[in-house]
Structure 1
Amino acid sequence: MITVTNLSKSYGGQTLFEDVSLQFDPGNRYGVVGPNGAGKSTFIRILCGTESSDNGSVSLPAKMRIGTLNQDHFAFENELLVDVVMQGQMELFKAFAKKEKLLAEAEPDAEQIIELEEIIQHYDGYQAESRISQMLEGLGIATIYHTQPMQVLSGGYKLRVLLAQCLFSQPEVLLLDEPTNHLDIMSVRWLEEYLADYKGTVIVVSHDRDFINQVSTHIADIDYQTIKIYPGNYDYYLKSRELEDLQRRQESDKAEKKMGELQTFVTRFKGKASKARQAQSKMKQINRMEKDLVEPLYSSRAHPKIAFTCCRPSGKSVLEVKSVSKAYGAKQVLTDVSFTLNKGDRLAVIGPNGIGKSTLLKIIMDELEADQGSCVWGYETYPEYFSQDHKESIPGNTSPYEYLYSYGPGESISSIRGHLGNLLFSGDDVHKTTTALSGGEAARLVIAKLVLKKGNVLILDEPTNHLDLESIETFINALVKFEGTIIFVSHNRYLVNRLATRVLELTVDGFDLYPGTYAEYLEHLGCDHLSGDDPDKSKASPTRMRELKENDSSNNNNSSHSDNKPAPAPQTKNRKKTQPQDKIARKKLSQQLKPLKKESSAAEKLCEDLEKENEKFNQMFSQPDYYSSTAPETIKKHAAAKKECEEKLSWSYHKWEMLNQDIEKLESEFKG
C-alpha cells in the first residue's frame, strides 16, 4: 500500500495540488487523469522518488519493488533484446552471466555453480526466455529480433523493449506515464490484457480513453488543486463527477439564496425597534454563513470550442488513388494501393506501425512522391492537412497570433484572437514564441488553422497524440459534425469507433478496403483488429500480424527514411491464452463490479440513515404540543433541517439508482 499524506506541489505561482492525502491499495489499478499541465507526470515522479514535493510525504513498505519505464535506451544499444529485458530481474541476469563465465573456465567452482543454480531456480530462470519472448511478441517485436542487439531497432521499438523490461521485473507497484505513446493499436490491446491479469498495484497516466477505461478499477483525478480517487473505470468516473458538480452547484445556489433572503430581512427591518433583535440575529447568521463559505477552487479543465466548416461543398468524387506503391531502398511499405473517396466519407487508415500509413497521407498531400501510381483530386476539393510531425511545421521565430494570421491575412484582429481563444490561447499566450509551445498547444494551434482555412477535406495523421481527454472529446464531436470528407490515421480506438464510415487496412501485401463503419468491419472480420484479439484463422487476413519497423510512425516523430535497418518480421499468432476467454471475461466483470457494488451498498446505507433521520423529524412535528411549546426560530430551524435531509435523501436515491443501473448494464452486457 502506498500512502500519501498532506502532499503539496507548486511550480512558480501555480499550485498543482495542495494538502493531498490518499492511499493506493494492493491489487487496484488507478488511471490518473487531468488536463494538460495539471501535474499528472509530476505526481508520478513524486511517487517513484525522482522529484520532491514542497510539503507532505509518500510512505510505502520497506523493500517494496516499484517498476517504472526506463527512457534511456542508449545504455543498452549493444545488448541483445532478451538480455535487456532480463535485466528487469538483475539478480537472475547476473546469475546467468556468472554461471556462463564459470562454465567457460577449465575447472569451474562447483559450489558457486550450485549457489547460482539456486538463484536461477528461485526466479524460474529456465522459463525466463519463454516469458520474455511472449512479452516482446505481444509488444510487436518479432522473434527473429529477440537475440539481436537493440541498435537494430528504431526508437519507438526500443522503448517497447524497455517497457517489457519494466513488466518482467514483476514489481509490486507499476508506475507508468503514457505507456501507450510508442505502441500501435494491437500492442496497446496486449498491454491492456497483461495489466488486467497483473496482481500488483498499477498507477498509470494516459490520454487514451479506451485504454484507461479498460485497465482502470479506480480513477485518480487531478483537478481543483487536489487529487481525488473515484471507484470504477473512466466512464463511471465521468458520471460520478457530473453528479458531484451538480450537487456542488445546488448547494452553492441554496446557500446564496438563503443569504439573500436573510439580507433582505435585515435590510427591511433593521431600522424597526420591534424587529431589531431578529435583524441582528439574522445578520449574525449571515456572518456565520460567509465564514463557512470557502473560496471556490476553479477547475483546471478547459474545453476548447471547435467547429469545422467548409468554404464550399466539394464535388461528389473527392479523391481517386490508383495503384500507389512506395519503397525505401529494399523496404516496400505500400503495394498497389487503390481506392476512391466520395463526398462525406470518413476513411480510417489502419495497420501496424511502419506499414506506410503516414507515407500514404504524405503522398496524397503531394509531400512525398510515389514510386508508381497516382492521386487525383476531384472538382472543388480543398484539402487541409494535420501532419504527424505538426510541431515541426510551425515556424519557430513567430507567435501563435502571427502564425494564424499568416493563413488569414484578410481576417480582423478580433477574428484571429477569437479563433485562438476558442482553442484556449488567451492573453499573452497569443504572443509567446512558438518554440515554447507544448505538444498539446502546438496541436491546438494547428487545429485553429484548420478551422480558419475551412477546407472541405481534412487529412489527419494522429491528431490526438498530444491532446488531453477534454480536448480530444471536443475535437471528435466537431469532426462528427463536419459536413466535408475526412481521411485519418489514428491508434485512438475511441476516435476510430466514433468517426469511421469506411476502413482501409494497409497490409504487407497491399490493402483491405471495407465499405462500412468500424463496428461493421469488425463484425465482417470476426475479430477486433484494433483490440488485438486472436481472430479465427478462417476469417482473419493472412497478412494481419505483420509488424514493420516504424520509419514513418508517430513514435519517433521523424520522417527521414535513410536508415535501412531491418524491419521486424511477420508476427505469428498472438501468445496462447492462459485462460479460457469466458473466464477472463468473468474476472474482468468481477473487477468492474466490485467497486460499483461497494459504493452501491454505501449509497443504500446512506439512504436508510437519512430515512430514519427524516422519520424522526416527522415524529417530532406530529407531537400534539410541538408547535405550542417550541419557539418559532426553533421550528424554522427544524423545518430547514428536515428540508435539507429530504434533499440529501432525494440525491442519495438518485445516486443509488444510477449505480444499480450501471451494475445491471454490466451484468446484462456480459450475459448478452
Structure 2
Amino acid sequence: MLTISDLDYRIEARPLFDGASAQIASGWKVGLVGRNGTGKSTLLRLIREEVENPTAQSAIRLSQGAKLGWVAQEVAPTDETILEVVLAADTERHALIQESETATDPDRIAEIHMRLVDIDAWSAEARAAEVLMGLGFKHADLARKTKEFSGGWRMRAAIAGVLFSQPDLLLLDEPTNYLDLEGAAWLEGYLKKYPHTVIIVSHDRELLNRCVTHTMALEHLKLTLCAGGYDAWLRLRAERVAQLESQRAKQDAEKAHLQAFVDRFRAKASKARQAQSRVKMLEKMQDISIPLAERTVPFTFPSGEEKLSPPMLVLEDAVLGYGEGADILRKVDLRLDPDDRIAIIGTNGQGKTTLVKSIAERLPLMAGTRKVPKAIRIGYFSQDQMDELTMGETVLDHVRRALPSDTKVAQQRAVAAAMGFSHEKVDTKIEKLSGGEKVRLLLGLMAMEKPNILILDEPTSHLDIDSREALIYALNDFKGAVLLITHDVFLAEATADQLWLVKDGAAKPYAGDLADYRKLVLQADREKPDPATKPKTAAVETKPVAKVDKAEQRRLASEKRKAASPLKRKAEDAEKRLTKATAALKKVDESLAQPDQSSDQMQALMVKRGELTATIEQAEMDWLEASEAYETAINA
C-alpha cells in the first residue's frame, strides 16, 4: 500500500528524516508515534504531496490507483446540512448521482446505476448518519445547516466525511483532540472494523493499544515499524536497547583485550606483526551506538503547607449556567475532600466545563450555595489556553508577573527553565509557542500558586505521550485534590479513583469505573441512526384540531414577523460579519503558510489572526442569540 525508501527531508537547517524507510501493507492500522516536533505531521503532508520537495516525494510511493483520504480542515459554515456535507465527501457517489440526473445515453445510464450498486450508494445516507451519530451528533442535527454549528462540531463533521468516504489509505492526525471520551471510544471501534489501511497520529495510549495492528515510531530521524500497539513498541525498544548494550559491552571487552596485546607486544620485534594486525582489527571495528533517551522535563505541583480539614469544597442545591434562562445544571450537590482524585465524564455539551468553572469561581452560581475554606487556593487550567495567556507577551513576562516584584532576572529565568523553557525560549512570544509549550507554561504558572485543588480541563490535547506520563507522575505526587476532564482514558485511569457524571442537566457521583462507563456508552448512550435511508421525524399521535380561520392566522403571523424584524436584521448582520471575518482569516492563514515572512510580519499576522478569531466567535454568538430570539418571537 505505502512504501517509504531512504527518505531525507529537512526544514531549513533542521533535519527531520535521514534515510528513513518503512513499508505498510494493505489493511494495516498503523499508529505513528514520536515526540512533539519530530515530524509526524510533516510525514503525513509528504504522503499527501502537500510539500514541494521532489527528493522527499520520490522516496514515498503509494499503490497505483489507491484513494487517499484525510481531514484537511473543518467544514465550512454554509447552508448545506451536515448530512449533505458528509454524503458529498464520497466524491465518486456524488458525481455519479449528479451525472445520472442529466445523462441521456441509455448505456451510460446503465453503467452509472451498476456502479452505484457496486459502491452501495443507496445505503449511503444510513451509513453517513451512523458515522455522524457515532461522533456525537443527534438525529435532529443531521438536517441542520453547517453554519449553525461551532468550529469544533464542524471539525467533527469533517472527520465524519473522511470516515464515510472510506479511502484506501486513511490519514488521521490527532482526531481525538476534537472528540469527547464517548466519541473517542466510538472511533476506536470504527477503526478496528475499517476495511482499508489507516495511519493515525495520536498521543492517546489506550487508543493506540486497542485499535492499531502496527506501530511506526519516528525517533532519531528514522522510522521503526513493529507489530502491535504502543506498549508492544515500548517492549521492543527496551529489548533493542538491552541488546545494543550487551553487544557494546562485548565489543568493549574485545577492544580492551586487543589493546592490551598491542600495548604489551608492540615494542617486541618477534610480535610486531601480530600487534600490527590487532591494530588494524581495532581500526576496523565500528562503534555500537546506543540512542540516547530523550529527556522529558517533569511537571511539579507543590501544594500549600497548611492542612485543610474536609470538606474542601461543597456545592448545595446549586444551579449552574450563564445567566437568566441559560441554566445548564440544576440541583447540584457535590463534595470535594483532600486527596480526592475525580475524573468528570459526560458527552460534550452536557456541562462539564460549566461545572468546573463554577467550582473555580470563574462563573457565579445562579442559585444555591458554594462553601469553601477562606484559605483555599484553586489552580484552574482552561481547555482554551489563550483565555489564560496574554498575546504579544513573552514566556518571561508571564513568569515575572507571577513572582514577587523584587525577584532577580536570573531567578525568573531559573523558574522558566524548571518549566522546560530554555534560555532562548523564555523570550519567545506566546503566539509563537507550540500547543505543548503553552500547556507547560500554564501548568507551570498554576503550580507557582501552590494550589490546594487542581482543576484540569483537557490538559493533554497538545502533549505527547512522554509528557502525558510526566503529568501522571506529578498528579499522583500532588498532595491536594484533583478534578480532571479528559478524553485520555490512560490518564484518567492512572490518576482518578472516583467519577462524576454530568448528564441531562445533573452532576452526580458515578458508581462504576471507566470500563463500566465505556460499555454503557458503546451499548446505549449514543443515539442510534434511523434504519431507513433518510432520517425521519418521530411519529406523533394525531388528535382532532378545532377549525381555525386561516386568514386570521396569516395576519397574526405577519404581525409577529414584522415585530421581530429587528432581530432578523441583527442575525443577518452577524452572519455577514461572520462570513467576512472567516474569509479574512483564511487569507491570514494563507499568508502565515508562506515561508518568506519576516519575524515582524509573522507577529503582525498572528495578532491579526487573534483579532479575527475573536470577531468570529462574537459573530457566532450574536447570530445564535438573535436567531433563537427571532424563532421564539415568531413561534410564540
Does the pair score TM above 0.5? yes
2:24 maps to what in 1?
24
2:156 maps to what in 1?
160
1: CA distance, partners of 2:452 / 2:436: 24
Which runs of at least 4 in structure 1 moved beyond 6 Å after TM superposition?
A: 108-112, 556-561
1: CA distance, partners of 2:117 / 2:109: 12
2: CA distance, partners of 1:4 / 1:42: 14
1:626 maps to what in 2?
none
2:173 maps to what in 1?
177
**Change in 2 beyond 3 A, CA 1:9/1:504:** same
2: CA distance, partners of 1:458 / 1:444: 15
Alpha-carbon offset, residue 338 of structure 1: 2.0
1:303 maps to 2:362: no
Which amino acid letter does the alignment assign opposite residue 343 of structure 1?
A: P
1:57 maps to what in 2?
59
1:42 maps to what in 2?
42
**Change in 2 beyond 3 A, CA 1:392/1:277:** farther
1:658 maps to what in 2?
none
2: CA distance, partners of 1:369 / 1:335: 14
Partner residue of 1:362 out of 328, 348, 357: 357
2: CA distance, partners of 1:357 / 1:125: 39
1:315 maps to what in 2?
309
Q: What does 1:153-552 correspond to in 2, within 5 Å? A: 153-289=149-285, 292-293=286-287, 298=292, 301-312=294-305, 313-322=307-316, 323-327=318-322, 331-378=326-373, 380-409=375-404, 416-514=412-510, 518-519=513-514, 522-523=515-516, 528-529=519-520, 532-534=522-524
Query: What is the aligned-residue identity percentage?
Result: 30
SS of residue in 2 equivalent to 1:31 = strand
Matched-pair contact (CA < 8 Å) for 1:327–1:334: no
CA offsets, 1:603-654, max 9 Å, x none?
Answer: xxxxxxxxxxxxxxxxxxxxxxxxxxxxxxxxxxxxxxxxxxxxxxxxxxxx
Matched-pair contact (CA < 8 Å) for 1:357–1:489: yes
Which amino acid letter does the alignment assign opposite residue 311 of structure 2?
A: S
Alpha-carbon offset, residue 100 of structure 1: 5.7
1: CA distance, partners of 2:191 / 2:48: 19
SS of residue in 1 equivalent to 2:424 = helix
Which amino acid letter does the alignment assign opposite residue 21 of structure 1?
A: S
1:562 maps to what in 2?
621
**Change in 2 beyond 3 A, CA 1:280/1:93:** same
Alpha-carbon offset, residue 270 of structure 1: 3.4
Which amino acid letter does the alignment assign opposite residue 91 of structure 2?
A: M
Matched-pair contact (CA < 8 Å) for 1:5–1:19: yes
SS of residue in 1 equivalent to 2:509 = strand
SS of residue in 2 equivalent to 1:78 = coil
**Change in 2 beyond 3 A, CA 1:438/1:286:** same
**Change in 2 beyond 3 A, CA 1:72/1:451:** closer
1:591 maps to what in 2?
none
Matched-pair contact (CA < 8 Å) for 1:178–1:206: yes
**Change in 2 beyond 3 A, CA 1:264/1:453:** farther
2: CA distance, partners of 1:269 / 1:452: 64
Which amino acid letter does the alignment assign opposite residue 305 of structure 1?
A: P
1:90 maps to what in 2?
91
2:561 maps to what in 1?
none
Number of aligned pairs?
A: 533
Q: Structure 1 residues 197-206 or 360-369, which shifts more?
A: 360-369
Q: What does 1:567-586 correspond to in 2, within 5 Å? A: none
Alpha-carbon offset, residue 443 of structure 1: 0.6
Alpha-carbon offset, residue 535 of structure 1: 6.9
Normalising to structure 1: TM-score of the pair? 0.73
SS of residue in 1 equivalent to 2:30 = strand
SS of residue in 1 equivalent to 2:240 = helix
Normalising to structure 2: TM-score of the pair? 0.77
Alpha-carbon offset, residue 500 of structure 1: 1.4
**Change in 2 beyond 3 A, CA 1:252/1:563:** farther
SS of residue in 1 equivalent to 2:456 = strand
1:604 maps to what in 2?
none
In structure 2, stretches of 5+ residues that fail to align are 528-612, 626-636
Alpha-carbon offset, residue 357 of structure 1: 1.4
Which amino acid letter does the alignment assign opposite residue 92 of structure 1?
A: R
Alpha-carbon offset, residue 214 of structure 1: 1.3
Which amino acid letter does the alignment assign opposite residue 484 of structure 1?
A: G
Alpha-carbon offset, residue 13 of structure 1: 1.9
SS of residue in 1 equivalent to 2:172 = strand
1: CA distance, partners of 2:45 / 2:492: 32
